[in-house]
Structure 1
Amino acid sequence: MSRIARVEPHLLSYPFPEPLHLDYYGGHRIIYKRDAMLIRVVTDTGEVGFAPGQGSESAQKLIRETIGPWLEGKAFADPDALRIRFLDGPGRDPHTAKIYSTVEVALYDLAAKAAGVPISELLGGRVRDKIRLYGSAGMYMSPEGYADEAAEVVKLGFKAYKMRPGIGPEADLRAIQLIRDRLGPGIDLMVDAHTWWRMGDKSYSPETVKRLAQSMSEQNLCWLEEPMSPHKHELYRALHAEDIIPLASGEHETTEEGFLDLIHGPCVDFVQADIVCQGGYAWGRRLFAALQEAELRFAFHSWGSYLEIIAAAQLGICWPEHVVEWLEYPLYRKPGQNIMYPFPLAEEILKEPLQIVDGELIVPRSPGLGVEINEGVIEKYPWKPGPWSTFTLHSPAGTWAVYNDHSVQWVEDGGSS
């Protein structure tokens, strides 16, 4: 039986040639770079398992100083057995357990390769070979700019588009109307409104949110995502009870109890979560079971590399579409495109592009994650310390730096708008 020889958390960065400046309602945002982590778990017989990780120095330190040393030397056969032992030791700390769950993807990759099966077969067995994708982009531009980008996303073959409004209530509504006019009725449209509660004194009040939800409902949205502070479940319960528009939330939840409250509130129609920042495979299987019982649906949050996408997909296809319906596909700009911004590292981390047919990801059946990793990105995209983005508010005046943990709330709610 092989043993784990070492665990390597490689931090990676793609610094933009020039910082990206974006104005929004009540503030200004600058994006300097995008970060990622590639985790390698190596056995004493030379096998390697890979996983995506949180692109932060704190996560890397935890893996290097706690998780890696605990795993090294352990006999490797069953990832579940190792997890149980870890949770009874260092994993008693919830944050440490969360970071361990990302490393565990590499352990599943190793175990599945050894068995000659895809990871999905170790997670209960796949019930399908594909999962629906939505093209995710759309950040702080004119209403016409959103409509132009949406049309370009559809030309790429995607059947769903998600945008991020934040240019003022009336302009946000205008943007969504223009998008629907441009796309027609056959394309799903998601609106990620997390900026609405991050504008300081110009944050949208619950009354403003309700008014916008009523108007946006006429545009046949698939969902309205995080229109209010995600920590205020009572506001979501109230809006959900109005049955105005499908609601989505979850990517900022920090505990399993929080997710269960979203489900049983009921607070939302779609629950969202990220396997890299919020929990791994074991956590996902528990969450999906609760969703199935409550007859709600799940949508993966995925805002990093395409290795994250395939890691999530291996879990998602073990559940039917009426439980796990969507997988977020961040659309980074390529030459000749006018979509969001470039992040070539995201795709180059894989040797071959993912297979997408009619807006759905075809999940490979080859062993492990089912993809070949391009380890050359480790040297090509060395780590650059510092925040990847900053937000400057007009009122209250202040600047907040954002690192890779997307679940951190970087400014208190305003709500005077």
Structure 2
Amino acid sequence: MRIRSVRAHLLSYPLPDPLKITYHGGERTIVKRDAMLIRVDADNGLVGYGPAPGTEQAKNDIDDVIAPFLACRTLADPDALRVQFLEESNRDAELQKLYCAVEIALYDLIGKERGLPVSELLGGRVRDRMRLYGSAGMHMAPEKHAEEAGAISELGFRAYKMQSGIGPDQDLETVRRTRDVVGPDFDLIVDAHAWWQMGDRNYAQGTIDKLAQKMGEYNVAWLEEPLPPDEHAGYRRLKELDLSPARPAFFTSRTNLSFLDLILPGVDYYQLDVFSQGGYPTARRVLGEVSRVGLKFAFHSLGTALEVIAAAHLGVCWPDQVVEWLEYPCYSTPTRAGMYPFPLTADVLKEPLELEHGDLILSMRPGLGVDVDEAVVERYPWIPGSWCSVHTAHASGKPSDSARSRGANRQAS
């Protein structure tokens, strides 16, 4: 089977009205959400699909570098093709990461040719379902978080992730109220990356320690990114405080894995976004290390349903003692609670993903096992420009000039 062409489609969904989110250190205004759909055509008529980062730079690199490299190549061994690309691209780290996103579509294509699910090409599945956590809450008032968590629970999810950062006392009150609503057997996850992204209003180390300890009393499953990614010693110190069950979790946009030996001893959970952080090769290496040292892994995923299913095909190749969770972004609809509307995430597939009691069910259909609806290419045309703006407040409360933060670049909640 030879590759005929690789096409990258940029997609955008403009929010009906700009969404302004206020938190302790400033405010974020979201105006749209972006995505990318990769289509790979083969000479036998088969087509493979996959997600990729929804940026103009990514599209340019795919069109100018990756697509020309893949055109007319024989697709038999993705690993061999990747090695060839690395050599020809002088091992450029960003190009390598982007190539591995495009590679998901290659796996979909090979699976379809061989009549096998992608999971069987990644080592073989040991189960057919992934436990999901519903991700939604965005710096709301405590009672609003609690109300939303209750609605997410009624949808069948067994866990809810919220973004904290509205002030230490309010963050704790949010957890308390939410726990009261969902009861003791429902998992709560706190995304804490805002704690250190607020300039001179960042939470002090002592505040973080105290807040983590207090949240642990409400049986929080884990704290996601309570410290900057570089602070490996800080993660180890936080873990040594034995704040269980409020266990530290590590998430970073980096793809250089040389730091694994530094960060793994300081966390209980490791997180990674498959489509934007090195694809299956990086995730497989991380999972091997996570398993070796006895930690747990939770997929980070805040884009389309195609991204969710792509991650799930790798997750089911590991037992749930290693890969416990897959993030499922809960976007709002006219009849369903969620963070804000983003219909593109579901519309990219002709049929919705199969969910059962808070689990994602994977079929044995070839490839990624889903049918992509290419009508989204016309329905959601690309809108140039940033998807959001961020204003960081000084201690006086006066906003600074607009700036893009790492949190803003996490295109999602």
TM-score (norm 2): 0.95
Task: Name 2:262's counterpart in structure 1.
Answer: 261
Indicate if the aligned counterparts of 2:390 and 2:408 stay in contact, CA closer than 8 A.
no
Task: Name 1:381's counterpart in structure 2.
Answer: 380
For residues 192-216 of structure 1, give each alpha carbon's deviation from its aligned partner in whole angstroms, at most 9, with x where no partner exists: 0111111111111111100101110
SS of the counterpart of 1:38?
Answer: strand
Q: Percent identity?
A: 50
Deviation of 1:366 (Å): 0.2
Task: Name 1:8's counterpart in structure 2.
Answer: 7
Equivalent-residue separation in structure 2 for 1:391 and 1:315 (angstroms): 34
Task: Name 1:153's counterpart in structure 2.
Answer: 152
Matched, 1:307 2:310: no
1:398 to 383, 401, 413: 401
Task: Name 1:252's counterpart in structure 2.
Answer: 253
Indicate if the aligned counterparts of 2:193 and 2:407 stay in contact, CA closer than 8 A.
no
Matched, 1:287 2:286: yes
Structure 1, 279-288 or 289-298: larger mean CA deviation: 279-288
Deviation of 1:91 (Å): 5.8
Indicate if the aligned counterparts of 1:136 and 1:163 stay in contact, CA closer than 8 A.
yes
For residues 267-293 of structure 1, give each alpha carbon's deviation from its aligned partner in whole angstroms, at most 9, with x where no partner exists: 110000001111111221111111111
Deviation of 1:231 (Å): 1.9
Deviation of 1:253 (Å): 3.1
Give the residue type in structure 1 aligned to 2:279.
G
Matched, 1:211 2:210: yes
Indicate if the aligned counterparts of 1:54 and 1:405 stay in contact, CA closer than 8 A.
no
For residues 297-353 of structure 1, give each alpha carbon's deviation from its aligned partner in whole angstroms, at most 9, with x where no partner exists: 000000100100000000010011111110000000011234210000000001101
Deviation of 1:127 (Å): 0.4
Indicate if the aligned counterparts of 1:20 and 1:31 stay in contact, CA closer than 8 A.
yes
Equivalent-residue separation in structure 1 for 2:367 and 2:52 (angstroms): 17
Deviation of 1:407 (Å): 6.1
Give the residue type in structure 1 aligned to 2:124.
G
Against the structure 1 CA distance between its residues 254 and 304, is the aligned structure 2 distance closer, same or farther, given a 3 Å change threshold?
A: same
For residues 130-162 of structure 1, give each alpha carbon's deviation from its aligned partner in whole angstroms, at most 9, with x where no partner exists: 011000010011100000000000010100000
Deviation of 1:19 (Å): 0.3
Structure 1, 223-232 or 190-199: larger mean CA deviation: 223-232
Task: Name 1:326's counterpart in structure 2.
Answer: 325
Deviation of 1:262 (Å): 1.5
Task: Name 1:415's counterpart in structure 2.
Answer: none
For residues 9-48 of structure 1, give each alpha carbon's deviation from its aligned partner in whole angstroms, at most 9, with x where no partner exists: 1000000111001111121110000000000011123211
Equivalent-residue separation in structure 2 for 1:360 and 1:259 (angstroms): 29
Against the structure 1 CA distance between its residues 162 and 273, is the aligned structure 2 distance closer, same or farther, given a 3 Å change threshold?
A: same
Give the residue type in structure 1 aligned to 2:207.
T
Give the residue type in structure 2 aligned to 1:288.
L
Write the mapping of 1:335-350 to structure 2, written as runs, cut at 5 A.
335-350=334-349
SS of the counterpart of 2:364?
Answer: coil
Deviation of 1:405 (Å): 8.6
Indicate if the aligned counterparts of 1:389 and 1:402 stay in contact, CA closer than 8 A.
no
Give the residue type in structure 2 aligned to 1:248.
A
- CA-based RMSD of the aligned residues comes to 1.5
SS of the counterpart of 1:276?
Answer: coil
Indicate if the aligned counterparts of 1:236 and 1:268 stay in contact, CA closer than 8 A.
yes
Task: Name 1:117's counterpart in structure 2.
Answer: 116
Against the structure 1 CA distance between its residues 72 and 19, is the aligned structure 2 distance closer, same or farther, given a 3 Å change threshold?
A: same
Task: Name 1:75's counterpart in structure 2.
Answer: 74
Task: Name 2:172's counterpart in structure 1.
Answer: 173
Deviation of 1:401 (Å): 3.4
Deviation of 1:251 (Å): 3.1
Equivalent-residue separation in structure 2 for 1:149 and 1:11 (angstroms): 31
Give the residue type in structure 2 aligned to 1:351.
K
Equivalent-residue separation in structure 1 for 2:333 and 2:259 (angstroms): 37
Write the mapping of 1:186-225 to structure 2, written as runs, cut at 5 A.
186-225=185-224
SS of the counterpart of 1:219?
Answer: coil
Equivalent-residue separation in structure 2 for 1:380 and 1:283 (angstroms): 33
Count of residue pairs the alignment pairs up: 405
Give the residue type in structure 1 aligned to 2:258.
E
Deviation of 1:406 (Å): 3.8
Against the structure 1 CA distance between its residues 386 and 169, is the aligned structure 2 distance closer, same or farther, given a 3 Å change threshold?
A: same
Against the structure 1 CA distance between its residues 371 and 182, is the aligned structure 2 distance closer, same or farther, given a 3 Å change threshold?
A: same
Give the residue type in structure 2 aligned to 1:378.
V
Equivalent-residue separation in structure 1 for 2:252 and 2:297 (angstroms): 11
Give the gaps of 5 or more residues in structure 1. Answer: 409-417
Indicate if the aligned counterparts of 1:116 and 1:367 stay in contact, CA closer than 8 A.
yes
TM-score (norm 1): 0.94
Equivalent-residue separation in structure 1 for 2:166 and 2:410 (angstroms): 22
